[in-house]
Amino acid sequence: MKAAVLLIGDELLGGVITDRNVQATARVLGPRGGGIVRVETVGDDPAAIADALHGLAARADVVVVSGGLGPTDDDRTREGVARALGTEVVENTELGRQLGDWLEARGLDRRVASRQASFPGGTQPVRNPVGSAYGFRGRLGDAEFWVLPGVPSEFGEMLTELAATLPQPDGLDWERLVATAGRGETLVA
């Protein structure tokens, strides 16, 4: 199985934050036969998100998308994925009500629930066991995609749950990491 990762966020491109989700993806998907073949980073621009998702879906069996699912206006991942699919972003009103109640119980503004309970048509919501930003999953061509929050603790929990739905690999691949000290690569190769 070939996997690709799409990182979304102006803060990544600007060097404001450092990504940790590619490493998490490799750790979670690797034992299931999911080698990462490509990683791309784009800003919070729906057209760039759509283009990148199309390109990665043509090269991989699973595309893991990280970031841009928060309640603020600069979180544009939903719109970008909808554009890639040729659909609209639609609110799941029942989920919005539940999320609003969850937020209100924690003293937070329930108005953000509407945005966080909205998904591109044809996708399925993915529960977030750690935070309020639901993810979603769907298909583009022959590839499955998973769109998850960029917060590493949330991303990791949700990725682990989704990876458990993948079939187990047929065979075993062995890899060994050998630590060397005091010798360069050319001497131990």
According to CATH, what is the number of the domain 2-188? 3.40.980.10
Cα–Cα distances in Å, from 81 out to 10, 59, 120, 179? 17, 17, 7, 42
**Which letter, b or e, does each residue of 99-130 get, where b requires 16 or more Cβ atoms within 10 Å of its Cβ?**
bbeebeeeeeeeebbbbbbbbbebbeebebee
Q: What six digits make up the tokens of 182?
A: 């005091």
Indicate the domain borders of the chain: 2-188
How many angstroms separate the CA atoms of 24 and 30, rounded?
A: 10
- Per-residue pLDDT of 108-121, as tens digits, reads 888 888 889 999 99
Residue 125 scores a pLDDT above 70: yes
Q: What number is the average pLDDT over the span 115-140?
A: 95
Whole-model pTM: value is 0.88
Q: Looking at per-residue confidence, does 131 or 138 come out higher?
A: 138
Q: What number is the average pLDDT over the span 87-111?
A: 92
Mean pLDDT of the residues in the chain: 91
Residue 168 scores a pLDDT above 80: no
Number of neighbouring beta carbons within 10 Å of residue 8: 29
Residue 176 scores a pLDDT above 60: no
How many angstroms separate the CA atoms of 171 and 166, rounded?
A: 15
- Per-residue pLDDT of 26-85, as tens digits, reads 999 998 888 999 999 999 999 999 999 999 999 999 999 999 998 888 899 999 999 999
Q: Looking at per-residue confidence, does 68 or 172 come out higher?
A: 68
